[in-house]
Amino acid sequence: MKFLTILFVFMFMFMELVTVSVSYAEDKKEAIKYSEECKDKNAKSCYKLGLMYASGDGVKQDESKAKEFYKKACDGGSSEGCVSLEMLNSANKVFNLLGI
């Protein structure tokens, strides 16, 4: 019985690892797609790429790149990009005031 329990736990852990790997690979493909579309001045893709950099989905988490793509989205007419950029800048101002 103990063996079956241990086997089940390892199987579950392996399945979870495979799921995370597949999800990351799909996110990375999306990041490449959004990057190409953003170069073509697609504001929605710039915004989505900013979200990915902010959260680290499919790319290495990078706040400065998130801001860069939010700004491109905002400049391209995306209200979501403008709001996200302002929220990120406001959060940084609060953190600086609090010394965090």
Domains and CATH numbers, the chain: 15-98 (1.25.40.10)
Contacts of 36 (CB under 8 A, 6+ apart): none
Enter the pTM of the model.
0.74
pLDDT range class, residue 97, cuts 50, 70, 90: confident
Q: What average pLDDT is seen over the chain?
A: 82
- Whether the pLDDT of residue 19 is over 50: the answer is no
Q: Helix (H, G, I), strand (E, B), or coil: what is residue 1? A: coil
pLDDT range class, residue 70, cuts 50, 70, 90: very high
Higher-pLDDT residue of 38 and 88 is 38
pLDDT of residue 93: 82
Output the CA angle 8-9-12, nearest 5 degrees: 85
pLDDT of residue 75: 97
